[in-house]
Structures are given as C-alpha cells and as structure tokens.
Amino acid sequence: MDPECARLLPALCAVLADPRQPVADDTCLEKLLDWFKAVTEAGSSLLLLQEHPCLVELLFHVLKPQDLSSRILSFALRLAGIFAAQENCFQFLQQGELLPGLFGEPGPLGAAAWAAPSVRSGWIQGLHSLAQHPSALRFLADSGAVDTIFSLQGDPSLFVASAAGQLLVRVLDLALRGPAEGRVCPQAWDWPACARKVVCHLEDCLRSEATPRVTQALHVLTTTFGHCRGLWTQGLWARLSPLVARLLEKDPVPAPHALVDLLLGVARSPVLSSDPGLWETAAQALSRLSPTQAGPLAAGILKLQDCPQALRIQAFSILLQPLAHVLEATAQAPGTPRLLEGAAGDLMAVDTFPPSRSACVGLLCSALAHLELLQPLPQRPSPWPQAPLLAAVVTILRFCNGSAAPSSEAGGRLCAMLVGCVRVQRAALDFLGVLSQGLGPQELVTQVFAILLEYLVSPDSSPTVLKKAFQATLRWLLSSATPPGCCDLEPYAQLVLGELLAVLQKRLCSPCWEVRDSGLEFLTQMTRHWGGQGSFRQALLGSEVPELTRQLLQDPESYVRASAVAAVGQLSSWGLLTAPSSPEHPAVPQKTPLEELLLVLTTDSEGFPRRAVMRVFTEWLRDGYADVAEDPEQSVAPVLRAASRDLDWEVRVQGLELALVFLEQLLGPRGPSTAAPPGALTQALQALCRVQLFEFAFRSLFDCDRPVAQKSCDLLLFLKAKATPSGSQQEVGDGPNVASVEAALRRWQAGEQGQPLGELAPEAVLAVLRSMDLEALRDTLAESSDHVERSPQSLLQDMLATVGVLGDNEADCY
C-alpha cells in the first residue's frame, strides 16, 4: 500500500464507522473492496491488519449494537471475508472472536439488519471469500452457517438466493477437494460431515415435490459440475444421478430448463462425460421433455465432441422434428424429400406441434436457430440433410407469405399460424443464408432463388425481413459462383440478376429509410463481388440503379446517405457510375464521383456520411482507383484538409488513416522498417508538406479525442522510422523553422488551437520529428484516460472529500 493511502486509511475507517456520515455512493464501497482484494492478493492480510489497526477497529466497531447503515454492515462482512481468506489472518480474527461475531448467531444474522437483502448478500459473499481453507470449513460447520445457507436458497431476493447456491458449491468444493484429492471416486462415507450434510440437503431437494426446491438443487449441481473438476464430482454424480433420472419419470417433469442445464453441464465436464449412465439419462430426457424443452438439450448434445452416435441421432431428430412436420404438412407426393426417415419419422405425430401460435412460432424459431449454429461446426451431424432442410426452409418461408399449399388439415392450421409471422421469417432467412454453404439439387436452388425474390418483391416484407432476404440472396449468389471462388455467376443466377435489379430499383425509392439503406448495402456488396463481371455490368448499366444511387447521396436520412456514399464508391471504382445524361439540362456537366463525395465530406451535417466518404477515399487510394491514382496528391490534399477540420473524431481518425495509406504509397509499406532512400524521402516529404499533412498530424497529437492522437502518433512514428533508419543518429537540425514549429506545438499542447503552423520545410519537419519523444507520447496515450482518477489514492480522497474530512483544496473533484 502506498504511503499516501496508508495515511488516509484511518480517516476513512473513522468515516465508515460513523453512522452520522453516510457514504452516499455504493460504487465507492465496491471499488474499495476491489482495492482491498488486490492488496490482499499481493501480500499478507495479517500484516496489513497489523500495520493498520484501524481496519480491525472498524470491524469491531460494526459488532457494536448501533444504528449502522445496512450498506456499511454489508461492506464490513465482505471485507472481513476478504481478510479471512488467508488462514493465518483467519486465525488472527478468530482469536478476537470477530468472525463468530460477524457471521454467527450474535451478529447481524439475529438482528433487525438481517431484513436488508444487502446484509444477507454481504454475509454470503463474506463467507464465500473466506471459504478457502480447512479452518474455514470447520468454522462453517461449527457456526451452523450451512443451515442458514440452505434457508437463504429460497430467499425472496434473487441475488441472495443465487449467491447462496454458489456458496453451497464453494463449501462442497472446499470440503471434498481436500480429502478426496487424488483418489478415484471416493465413497460417500469418506466425506466430511459438512459435505454429507450438503449432499443430504441436495438429495432431499431432489426428492421434494416442490418444484422451486428441485430447481435450487439442480442449479447448485449445475454450478458444481460446471466449475469443479475434482474427481469427487464423479462420486457426487454417481450418488445423485438416480435421483435426477427419477425426476424425468414424473409427469410433468419438474424444472425442465434447470434439468437440461444440469445434464449439459455434466456432459461437458471432462471428469464425468465418460459415465455411460449420463447418456442414458440424456436420452431419457430427450424423449420425456416436450420438443420446446428438449431443443436446447439436443443442440447442446450435438455440439459435444464425444457422445454416443445413437444419442446424437436422437438429438438431431428432435431439432429436425418441427421442420419435418412442416414438410409433411405440404407433402403432395411420396417423392418429396423427408427429413426423418424410418422410426424417427413415424414417431413424429402431427399433433405434437404446439396448438398455440406463440408456442409453435417459438419452437420453429428455436429449431431454426439451433440448426443455424450447428451447420458450420465440424462435429455437425453427418450426413447433413441439406436437401430436405432446404426444402423445409423454403416451405416455411412459403407458409409465412401465404404461398404454400398445405396438404392436410394440420398444414392448414400451420399456415394460419405462420402467415405474416416476421419472427419466423427472420429465423428462416438467416438459416437459409447459412445453408448456402452447402450445395443442393438444382431444382431446390431454383426454388430458393424464387422464394428469395418473392420476399424481395413483396410489399409486405418488413424492413428487417427484407434486410435478411438481401443478405441471404447475396450468400446464395456467392455460393452459386462456378467454380467456387470464381467470380462468374451461374447462368441461373444471371437470370435472377435482372429481376434483382428491378427490385432494387423499386426498393431504392422506398419511403422507408431502412429499406433504402439495406438496398444500398446489398448493391455495394454485389458490386464488390461482381463489379468486374460482364453480365453483371451489363445488367447494372442497363438499369436505373446507378443513377438512383447517386441521387440517394441527397437522402434526408443520414444512414442512407452513408450507405449511398459506400455504394457510389464501389460503383465508381468499377467504372459503373457513368455520368448520366440529364434530360432537362444536357449541357450542364455532371460532377465526378470524386467531386460529389468531396461535397458530402465538406457539407454534410451528419457524421455517418462523412465517415463513409473517408472510408471510400482510403479504399480508392489503397486500391489504385483510376481517378485517384492519376494524381494521388491532388486528390488527397482537399480530403485531408476537410478531414483535419472535421468536428467528428472518427472522420479525423479516418483522415489520418488515409494519410498513412498515402505515406505508404510514397515510402513503402509498414513493417520492420527499412529507411526510405533519401531521394524518395525528400520527394515524399515535399509532397506531404504540400498537402499540409504535418499541420494536421501535429495538431492531432494534442487532439482531445485520444484515438486521434494515437493514430497521429502512429503516423509520425512510421514517418520517423522511414526517415531515420535504426542505428544512425542524425544531427538534430536547428534551422530557423524548427523553433517556431516547436513553439507552435507547445502552444497547441497548452490548448491554444488557433495558431497555424504556416509553411513547413521538409528539413524542419524531420528535425521536429527527431526532437520529439513520440515513443513516450505513445505510451502515455496507451494508458486509459482515467488512469489517474482510477487510482486507490484518488478513491480514498474522493470518499473523504464527499464527507468533508479533507480540505477543499485537496479534493480531486472530477
């Protein structure tokens, strides 16, 4: 502990112990606890208490019957727990009878303060901290704390109840870890009394008819098997698993969600997953739970690396069931693909689908979401039923837009439940997008594009559904490139393209800005991939899309303008933004895309479009876009000028990024640097001076937004590295300019921003660069901006200041 904190501590303890000076802010106490925790973890708690008797006094003070606030009481309990985590300190506190006083019957447990949830929570957390060593275990057993913990499991405050459960896990771990360490599956009679007591309690709960008690026990066990890896967990599971299995025989199964969590927790535990009984219980759970309840269990099982194949098949069929049902509902002929063949398929009774709309929708959405997560995993079920899944998703989407023809009464009901359901549409489109990773029969792929087009065309598609439909379409277009990786579209996709552009045209005119925005994003992505491809170019140039995109640069919604900027950037870099012939004013020359974007950068009132412009310029420069590549200096100069004056810090960062790319093009790439040849360097520096980069960069060093300063620092360091190769120290120049530059820099640092730098000579720049300690500046900037305010000293001062113990001049008010 640093001396200043040590000096402030007695005063702080006095404040905390004084009920007349309430601490207003709970977070201060939390921070204080964090600090003490850090201090005790770094050194001896005992020593700390001996050096600072005020702390023990504070704890003793709490024991006195008085009107202390519940938050201070809670704080003291937690603080005592932190100190007592070390065994010698525990004993020190025991000698003073402090711990029984705090955590035993005489303490708050029996007092009125116990009614406050924060006190109960502090009591649990204190015990949780101190339960680290055998002495603590004895203390817990002797003080009767375990019974209190049992009762706190049902506490009305959820935080307290949950913490009580975790404390039980801690107790169990502490009790069993020691004696059973290293032994294979110790038997229950070997266990310490404390552990036996907890386990008996858990058994009682599992046998209970009251679902909340069962749930508590299941939560404790889930946490135990999730966090404890000791071999003793095998013994525990062996003892309790029959009770867990018996829960599954009840009708209805109590606490299904907690049960699923427990089974998955056990299955994931490396110590327990070899138990064959576990898989039987899991299989039983899959068959006993309703499809909605079993879904998460099935998905969890399928994500496991090792588990019996039969169980995987069972789990997979649970996830497939709702989709299989959908397929059945429209199956016209026996030839249609089936998802579940044989026994599993026959098991599925149509009526098992939930009768209520919300349950049915929930089941379908969760099945789709689980399958979506499974698809990319290496351990996903094999063979993966790609074709029936595709057919099922297409059918779901058809049900949702009312175009599917159900073949049965159940199908009719399903149709009525799903029609117009946005939730299912979104889930199905997401999954359809993921399915593009696999191939499908041509006929199905045709259907996929057809249904996607239907959704894109339909006026009833909500903006979110439309966005997902665009995303799925893009994924399918990408996957239909032949051969994979090649940029050419498949003939079918080329046919779709015409219709897509017609849709896009209409969508770009939508009165709903979200729709215009996702349309533009889709266009940008498409152009990125196929901008160089003949049929795409032809189709695009034959449509109104490029002109509409250009018009959307003036959209009233800033997000749309930003997307339009990106789209214009992408279109023009492929030469797809031909200057339109204005029917009204054929003579008026149109602005080039470069000019148009520069206009956005300089005039747009919102940040998003300006940021987008900066990204486009950076991309253009990096990729050598013709208009920019012709004369990079000429193109970059006005952009940098505008960016340097921008009020949005992200635009300024982007500006520096653009400068960095420009610099790389002049001096070679970043990396373990080699100095640039002197001739190139001089030329580059002159160019940089001409575009007034240095004024921007130096000014940014003192920008009030730290990312800007960091970026600028990086840029100047890069330049410095290029200018002064390692090992060679050049003479620090002392030309007439240097002094004035440094003077300007000092003024900027002091916050005076008005002073311009004026004309700079390359030599002066170099000299200034060499004289600056940019590395040190980088390190300072790397520290978070509140590092001063976060120090413990500042915390103690703040707390004292709020109660007026410190003089005003000492307060660190922020």
Partner 1 sequence: MKLYCLSGHPTLPCNVLKFKSTTIMLDCGLDMTSTLNFLPLPLVQSPRLSNLPGWSLKDGNAFLDKELKECSGHVFVDSVPEFCLPETELIDLSTVDVILISNYHCMMALPYITEHTGFMGTVYATEPTVQIGRLLMEELVNFIERVPKAQSASLWKNKDIQRLLPSPLKDAVEVSTWRRCYTMQEVNSALSKIQLVGYSQKIELFGAVQVTPLSSGYALGSSNWIIQSHYEKVSYVSGSSLLTTHPQPMDQASLKNSDVLILTGLTQIPTANPDSMVGEFCSNLALTVRNGGNVLVPCYPSGVIYDLLECLYQYIDSAGLSSIPFYFISPVANSSLEFSQIFAEWLCHNKQTKVYLPEPPFPHAELIQTNKLKHYPSIHGDFSNDFRQPCVVFTGHPSLRFGDVVHFMELWGKSSLNTVIFTEPDFSYLEALAPYQPLAMKCIYCPIDTRLNFIQVSKLLKEVQPLHVVCPEQYTQPPPAQSHRMDLMVDCQPPAMSYRRAEVLALPFKRRYEKIEIMPELADSLVPMEIKPGISLATVSAVLHTKDNKHVLQPPPRPAQPTGGKKRKRASDDIPDCKVLKPLLSGSIPVDQFVQTLEKHGFSDIKVEDTAKGHIVLLQEAETLIQIEEDSTHIICDDDEVLRVRLRDLVLKFLQKF
Minimum CB separation of residue 395 from partner 1 in Å reads 13
Q: Which stretch binds partner 1 (CB under 8 A): 178-186, 209-217, 333-341, 548-556?
A: 548-556
- Residue of 666, 669, 772 lying closest to 717 (CA atoms): 772
Between 416 and 788, name the residue whose CB sits nearer to partner 1.
Answer: 416
CA dist., res. 601 & res. 638, Å (int): 10
Backbone angles phi, psi at 692, to 5 degrees: 60, 40
Give me the least distance between CB of 599 and partner 1, in Å please. 16
Query: In which residue are the tokens 């998905």 written?
Result: 299
Q: How far is the CB of 417 from partner 1 (least distance, A)?
A: 8
Residues 557-596 that bind partner 1 (CB under 8 A): 557, 583
Judged by beta carbon, residue 172 or residue 396, the one nearer partner 1 is: 396
Residue position matching structure tokens 């149509």: 350
At its nearest, how many Å lie between partner 1 and the CB of residue 547?
A: 8
CB nearer partner 1, residue 266 or residue 331: 331
Please identify, using beta-carbon distances, which residue of 290 and 510 lies nearer to partner 1: 510
Instruction: Answer yes or no whether residue 292 interacts with partner 1 by CB under 8 A.
Output: no
686's tokens: 């002159």
Question: Packing angle between helix 309-330 and helix 276-288, nearest 10 degrees?
Answer: 20
Q: Which of 65, 376, 556, 678 binds partner 1 (CB under 8 A)?
A: 556
Position 175: which residue type? A
Taking the least distance from each CB to partner 1, the nearer of 267 and 424 is 424
User: Which range binds partner 1 by CB under 8 A, 30-38, 406-414, 422-430, 637-645?
Assistant: 406-414
Q: Which stretch binds partner 1 (CB under 8 A): 6-14, 264-272, 364-372, 552-560?
A: 552-560
Question: Coil, helix or strand for 360?
Answer: helix
Evaluate the omega torsion of the peptide bond into residue 106 and state whether it is cis, within 30 degrees of 0.
Answer: no
From the CB of 632, what's the least distance to partner 1, in Å?
33
541 binds partner 1 (CB under 8 A): no
Residues 761, 106: Cα–Cα separation, whole Å: 80
State which residue, 412 or 534, has the beta carbon closest to partner 1.
Answer: 412
* Smallest separation (angstroms) from partner 1 to the CB of 470: 16
Q: Which is nearer to partner 1, 347 or 405 (CB)?
A: 405
From 119-127, 133-141, 180-188, 401-409, give the range in contact with partner 1 by CB under 8 A. Answer: 401-409
The residue whose two tokens read 């420069």 is 621
Burial class (CB in 10 A: 0-12, 13-18, 19+), 790: exposed
Which of 358, 437, 554, 749 is close enough to bind partner 1 by CB under 8 A? Answer: 554
Which residues have CB under 8 Å from 74's CB, separation 6+?
116, 118, 119, 121, 122, 123
Which residue of 173, 328, 517, 555 would you call a contact of partner 1, by CB under 8 A? 555
For partner 1, which is the closer residue by CB, 99 or 414? 414
Gyration radius of the chain over CA positions = 35
Stretch that binds partner 1, among 268-276, 383-391, 405-413, 520-528 (CB under 8 A): 405-413
Q: Is 336 in the site for partner 1 (CB under 8 A)?
A: no
Nearer to partner 1, 547 or 650 (CB): 547
Q: How far is the CB of 670 from partner 1 (least distance, A)?
A: 44
Number of residues that bind partner 1 (CB under 8 A): 31
Binding piece for partner 1, criterion CB under 8 A, among 375-383, 400-408, 682-690, 744-752:
400-408
Contact 530, 489 (CB under 8 A): yes
Residues 492-521, mask of contacts with partner 1 (x by CB under 8 A): -------------xxx-xxxx--x------
Of 232, 254, 243, the residue nearest 184 (C-alpha): 232
Member of 416, 579, 629, 782 binding partner 1 (CB under 8 A): 416
Distance set, CA 272 to CA 16, 180, 210, 233, 263 (Å): 48, 16, 28, 8, 11
459 or 727, CB closer to partner 1? 459
**Nearer Cβ to partner 1, position 556 or 736?**
556
Minimum Å gap between C-beta 220 and partner 1 is 44
Helices (H) and strands (E) in the chain, counts: 42, 0
Min CB(506)–partner 1 separation in Å: 5
Q: Using CB under 8 A, which of 96, 144, 242, 412 touches partner 1?
A: 412
Taking the complex as a whole, how short is the minimal distance between the CB of residue 352 and partner 1, in angstroms? 20
Q: How far is the CB of 409 from partner 1 (least distance, A)?
A: 9
Judged by CB under 8 A, does residue 542 bind partner 1? Answer: no
Please provide the DSSP assignment of 707-736 as one string.
Answer: HHHHHHHHHHHHHHHHHS-TT--PPPP--H
Binding letters toward partner 1, positions 633-652, x by CB under 8 A: --------------------
Q: How far is the CB of 460 from partner 1 (least distance, A)?
A: 5
Q: Which is nearer to partner 1, 454 or 705 (CB)?
A: 454
Q: b/e map of 5-15 (b: 16 or more CB within 10 Å)?
A: beebbebbbbb
- Could you tell me the two tokens for 550? 């250009």
Tell me if 50 sits within 8 A of 44, measured CB to CB. no
Which lies closer to partner 1 via its Cβ, residue 135 or residue 551?
Answer: 551
> How far apart (Å, rounded) are the C-alpha atoms in residues 772 and 788?
24
DSSP 149-217: HHHHTT-SSHHHHHHHHHHHHHHHHHHHHHHHTTSSS--GGGS-HHHHHHHHHHHHHHH-S-HHHHHHH
Residues with Cβ within 8 Å of residue 525, at least 6 apart in sequence:
474
Which span (152-160, 209-217, 408-416, 565-573) binds partner 1, by CB under 8 A? 408-416
Q: Tell whether residue 456 is a contact of partner 1 (CB under 8 A).
A: no
Long-range contacts of 193-197 (CB under 8 A, 24+ apart): 193/141, 194/137, 194/140, 194/141, 194/146, 195/171, 197/141, 197/146
Q: Which of 155, 280, 544, 619 binds partner 1 (CB under 8 A)?
A: 544
C-beta closer to partner 1: residue 113 or 552: 552
Q: Which stretch binds partner 1 (CB under 8 A): 409-417, 438-446, 485-493, 585-593?
A: 409-417
Instruction: CB nearer to partner 1: give 413 or 670.
Output: 413
User: Tokens representing 6?
Assistant: 């040590």
Chain position carrying tokens 């023809």: 405
User: Cβ of residue 555: shortest distance to partner 1, in angstroms?
Assistant: 7
For residue 424 the two structure tokens come to: 């299912």
Cβ distance 306 to 273 under 8 Å?
yes
- When the beta carbons of 149 and 404 are compared against partner 1, the nearer one is 404
Q: Is 548 in the site for partner 1 (CB under 8 A)?
A: yes
Shortest distance (Å) from residue 77 CB to partner 1: 54
Q: How do the residues of the chain divide into helix, strand and coil, expressed in percent and rounded to 5? A: 70, 0, 30
Residue 362's closest CA among 275, 296, 276?
296
Contact window for partner 1 (CB under 8 A) among 16-24, 81-89, 358-366, 453-461: 453-461
Nearest distance from C-beta of residue 543 to partner 1, angstroms: 11
Q: Tell the smallest beta-carbon distance from residue 358 to partner 1 (Å).
A: 14
C-beta separation of 582 from 588 below 8 A: yes
Residues 6+ away with beta carbon under 8 Å from 631: none
CA neighbours closer than 13 Å in the CB half-sphere of residue 760: 30
**Contacts to partner 1 by CB under 8 A:** 402, 404-406, 411-413, 415-416, 419, 458-461, 505-507, 509-512, 515, 544, 547-548, 551, 554-557, 583
